Amino acid sequence: MWNKKRPQNKQPKARGSKALRIVDTNPYKAVEVCLERLRLCKGDLRLDASKGISSKLDEYDLSKFNRISRESEQHTIVRGRDGSIYAYHVPQAWLTRNNITSEYVNRLVFLLENLPPLRPSEEVKNVQAKRGIRCSRAYQFWFGSKEGGELGVSMQYVKDGPKAKEFVEHCKLLWETLGQVYDNVFPNPAATLRNYRASKDTIVEFLAKPWPGMTINQGCEDEPVETNPHKDSTDAFYQNSCLYACGEFNGGNVIFWELECVLEMKSGDALFIPAHLITHSNTPVTAGVRHSLVAYGRQETLTKNQDIRGKQQAEKKAELIEKRNKRRKMERMLSSSVE
């Protein structure tokens, strides 16, 4: 049987799509670091995301971890053998050239250090207290945890009042700048955040736009912000958190346990990581005071948003079908009257 050959000048079309979307995952010409000896891929980490970490830490030898130094001017991408991005670092020098000036950061630190003090009961109940951070608060937009929970903002944001609003307003420029980087490096996850929809007549107040909110970790001389090994298990499963470190300090580098590497992190640097997948912590802060801001979205919030979007799309489809049926009915009536 004779088989007609495909013409050489034609390329096969992608199934299920009219055109392939080519995504450049290194738009800022970042320095690429490949972890060749990494034993895991992202799929392994996803399967392991809900499991505990305490029994695994003994398997690692911190002294043998790769040390990744930051570039003063260039971004840094950390990839595994599978090519996936496990961490993306933005240096302070680049942010300074993009409007996050020293004056801006000094004002941010001032506002952070002058937020209302937390009560002892709030410090004990805080999730971050188990991770080694005593003074931590969440300014977050989310759904209530109960069934049929309503949209709203975290109680701590409400309690902190005008100072909280002033701090969030000042942080807008920082998150907008880093959000643009997120759009360009991680376009698909970023689009999910940008396309967030709430139910009708609901005002959406993202407190770290494009992320729904942030955690504010405040350090002091006796207790700088350096976390114990942990995963942020409530974070959105296919998103990246954005960490921003500020203050005057030495140390506090980020340890990625499953990746077996330590990434240098200076004051004014930012870092994108899938914090729900990778066990991470900090090296000791050897001098000064370290603060950190972490922008993220909760999985519960984005899941319920998908339900709302699905309901809205179904309602829109039903509305279009109803309009079409009315139009057809009208056309039939007109045609019968003409006859």
What pLDDT digit, counting tens, does each position of 114-129 carry? 999 987 765 555 555 5
Closest CA to 42 of 94, 86, 88: 86
Q: Compute the residue count for the chain.
A: 339
- More confident of the two residues 18 and 201: 201
pLDDT score recorded for residue 318: 65
Q: Which residue has 């912590």 as its token pair?
A: 281
Least confident of 4-18, 50-64, 98-112: 4-18
Residue 310, pLDDT score: 47
Instruction: Quote the pTM value.
Output: 0.80
Asked if 164 and 157 touch (Cβ cutoff 8 Å), the reply is yes
> What is the sign of the dihedral through the CA atoms of 89, 282, 251 and 42?
negative
8 Å CB contact between 41 and 277? no
The residue among 313 and 160 whose pLDDT is bigger is 160
Percent of the chain past pLDDT 70, that is, above it, reads 76
- Using pLDDT thresholds of 50, 70 and 90, give the confidence band for residue 5: very low
pLDDT digits (tens, 9 = 90+) for 22-59: 456 789 999 999 988 787 788 888 887 766 665 677 77
What gap in Å lies between CA 180 and CA 172, rounded to an integer?
A: 12
Q: In whole angstroms, what is the distance from residue 172 CA to residue 295 CA? A: 11
DSSP code of residue 51? S
- Segment of 97-106, 117-126, 230-239 carrying the highest mean pLDDT: 97-106
**Which single residue is written with the structure tokens 């006859």?**
339
Question: pLDDT grade, residue 4 (50/70/90)?
Answer: very low
pLDDT for res 89: 96
Output the average pLDDT for the chain.
80
Buried b (16+ CB within 10 A) or exposed e, 249-288: beebbbbbbbbbbbbbbebbbbbbbbbbbbbbbbeebeee
Contact between residue 129 and residue 120 where contact means Cβ atoms under 8 Å apart: no
